[in-house]
Each structure stands twice: as C-alpha cells, then as structure tokens.
Structure 1
Amino acid sequence: MSIRQVVPTPKAGSAVRITLLTAFGLVWIALPFWFLVVNSFKTEGDASVLSLAWPSTWNVLDNYRTVLDEGGYLRALVNSLWIAVPTLAAVLVLGSMAAWVYARSDARSLKFAYYASILSVLIPPAIIPTIFVLQELGLNGSRSGYMLTLAGTRMGIVIFLVTGFIRAIPPYIEEAAFIDGASRLGVYRYIVLPMVKPALFVAAILLSINTWNDFFMSLYLLPEPERATLPVALFQFASATEYTFRWNLVFAHVILTNLPLLLMYVVFQRRVMSGLTEGALTG
C-alpha cells in the first residue's frame, strides 16, 4: 500500500500576491539596475539623455578604463577593503561575545549596558564630538580612528541581532560544558559561536552594506584624498567637472563601487537565506 503525498495547489490570492511582488521587484530593482548598466555603456552625449534605451554607440571599454585610470578606483578599493574587512571581523567577534553575556545575565547593570549598546541602531553618531574625541586621542584623519568609530557605531546591530538569537537557545549545553571544566573562551568558541553563525551571517551582510557604503563619516574622518574610500572617490570623481556630470562615467563608477558587494551576495546567498530562515524558526 503506497501513501501518496498530496501537494496543495496555490490559491488564487497567493498567485495574485506573487504577481504583484514580482511586478514590484521589476519596477523598483530591475529597472534601476538596467538604467545604471545601459547608461554606463553609452557615450557621454547619449548618456546625458538619461534613458533606458540601448546605446546608439557602444563605449564600454573606454568608460570603464577611464574610471580605472582617472577615478582612483583601485586605490579606493584597497582603502575600502583595508577598512571594511578588519572592522567587520572585530565587530562580529566582539559583538557576539557581548551578546552572549547580555543574553545569559540577569544583572540590572548589564541590562542597562545592553540598552545603551543598541542605541546606536537608532541614534546616528554626532560627527563634531567624534572628531573632538579622535583629536584628543591623536587618531583624527587616520584609518585606525575611522575603524574604531565604525566599530563602535556598528556594534549595536550585532548585539541586537545575536542577543535575541541566543535567548531563544536553551543554555543547558553551555552549562554542561562548564561542569566538564571548559573555560568561558572555550565555550564561546566551540559551542556559542557555531550556534549563532546564522545570525552572524545576516549581521555580516547588513554590516558589509552599511560599512562599504559609508560616505558621511568617511568624508570627514578621512580627509586626505589618498585615504578615500570608494563612496568618497565616487563623489570626488563625479564632482570633478565644473558644469556638468559625465553620466556614463559616473554610472560606470557606481557599478564598479558596488561590484564587490554584489559578488559577496552571490557567493554567500544560500548562507544568508538559511540564516534568515533559521533565525525565523528559532525566534
């Protein structure tokens, strides 16, 4: 006797919702992306019209070669990687450690520290006091000062996401490890860290986008042109002409600026989606 699995057919309402979401995605995601790409392939005259039409004259290699030669792209790419990678690693490790302590403690002082830590999610940093503090520390205009500022202002995102994730996990595994003589660092490394990996992947994507595209703080905290990150290099390149924008080159620079993020999303897409699903099921 065989048991047949009955697959429910989608309802009409579900089909309508899927159709509307697809149309929304095409309008708000696909069309702007196509607008950027197709205008980055045009000549300066064709791109000045700002249309979705195919190029009348293809100028792909010249546009992207000009961005690489005159736009300071490679130097800004190295600067962005030099800042984003260690900052992201420090924020994920230190933030997950703090989240573990906040999630497993009932002390009022730590509850106050938790709410104070996640205020950075809601309240943006004030640039003038930040510059004053960095000047007093002798770090103003340096990569170290900028990285410390990024880490301090982005730590709340990791703490907020991971604390809620850990609170939904029973603590008996950690308690058993402590009884067996494991140290706090050992419990964090071999038990807590593997359990919170889904939440950390989601936090890493959010932080990568936030850190990579940071313009305001980078503009003021790294004033020297040779230390400019990609968003600042894009701004400097776009504003180099006095009377008009060379839209074909600006769009090519925009695509190259966001290309590392796009590649990272393609590589880690499955891990991110599984992290979102696992976090929803755990919560």
Structure 2
Amino acid sequence: MAVCAHCQKPLTISIEPDSEDEDGNDDVPMGEEPETLPDDVHLSCGDHFHWECLLEAYEYSKCPACNRSIVAASSSSSSTEERIIVDLNNEGGLQQGIDIAPILREESYLRAYPEERKCRAFLEFCSEGDHRAIAELVKSCGEEVTADDEDGEVMTEAVGGPSKSADEVLRYQDPIGDMSSGLHAAVANGHREVAWLLLLLASEYPEMSFPALVYQEAGTLGVMREYQTGKVDIRSLKDAHGRTAEDVARGAGVIWQGWVGTGRLAMPNGAPRSNGRSGVATTLRG
C-alpha cells in the first residue's frame, strides 16, 4: 500500500468527531473512533503525498521526493503556463487529471507572504462578483482583536494575521498571475457591481457620474469614498500585457457596452491625477 513520500504515513487523514451536538452537550460518546478519509495526491512521477505534506515540501516543477520533473506541457499552444497534473483522492472522491499548479503557486506564495492573504481574497471576490464580501474585507483592514494566549495573557493582533491597508488591498495587482488588478478581474468576468464599487473606493471618477443606486448600495454596505488626492487611480493600473481594464472590456462582449471610451475603465487622455477636492471624505448614504 502506498504511503506519503514525505512523512511515510498512510495516505489518509483522521477527522475527530464533533464534540458538540445540537443540544450543546459537550460529551463525546465513549469509544467513538475518528473518521478516516483519503488524502492522496498522486504525482506524475509515481510518488504519493498528503496534501499538506506536498505543500510543506513543495519545490516548483520537481517532485520533492525523487527530484523528477512533474511539469506537463501546456494544453494550448498560445499558453506559456506550466501545468502539474495529478490524481487527487480526498473527501470529494477520486479526481483524475487535475491541474494543481495554480493552487500550489498561490499556497507557496502565501506561506512566504502571509500579509497578502486579504489581497488574494480580494482578487477572488472581484473575480466571483461578490461586492458585499469586498466591502466587508475593506472594512476589516486594520481591525484588531483581543484574545488570551496559552498563558492567559491578553494579546492584540490584526484580524486574519498581518495585513495590508484598505488602499493597498484595493490597488493590489496579482504578482503570481499577470499583474491583474481587481478591476481587471471584475471586467474579465462581467461583474458591473464590483466595477462600480472599485471605482467608488479607488478612483477619481467624478462623483456626479455615479448612478444614485451605487451610493445607496455603498451606504447599505457601510463603506465610504475617501478623497483620492495623491492616490493611485485604479483605472491607471495595467496588467503584465500592458492592458488597462478598458482594454480587457473591449474583448469581453456586450456587457461593457456604454463603458468603453467613457473614462470609467481607463484614465481619460490628459486627465489630471487629482480631482482637486478639499480632502473631506464623502460618506456614502442612500
């Protein structure tokens, strides 16, 4: 029977039984055994790993055990991204031929730069069109929680660990992808509500040009537009291919009809960097 090439243990994971039932009883039935589930990542070289063991020992493009290449050729002649194809067997069942390269790249990156977890979550929310989650994430930037450590001492730490400021999150560009911003991601996936929210929070797009419903929704979400003088306008950000969000919109179909060429998704030619406002924050209330 195959074992993990990293820890030499069976390719399973034990799930402890829930100690709290619906009545809030903390008693666990005597003799109840932990549930055992498969946890097997089968690489193309033939070696098997637990998922966490693979992440811990991961060396890009090579198996951590035998040092053989685990990179597969791209399935598209126009794509330069390398793939890592595996058979994955876990609580979701057996999945064959899964490309885990994007997940490995992101997990490895976050282990090296944990302070960017909120930034990565922000990009995911932009891609998914979850403008409410974006608002909650932005509001949580800089928050602190108080708790007791193992010795009973009170400690204060940032929510979710080390984090970027709200301004940094809103203007984040994907360093392990193609340097896309949240606005690029929203446009590529056809999410207008997210685009409006990002323009409101991270651009100098004129306030009078926003639909009233945008302000009403922002007020409901509890976010506000701070003055933007001296800050990077999200419309000016370009990806690794030199494209603005407007360039992406041109190839995204009719959903962005009426947006291209209006200054919503790219800086107007010759537009000033500052809107000249006095610096007073505008509270967004319906």
**Into which bin does the TM-score normalised by the smaller protein fall?**
under 0.3
Higher fraction of helix = 1
* Structure with the higher fraction of residues in strand conformation: 2
TM-score, length of structure 2 as denominator length: 0.22
Which structure is higher in RCO with an 8 Å CA cutoff and minimum separation 6?
Answer: 1
Q: What's the TM-score once normalised by structure 1's chain length?
A: 0.22
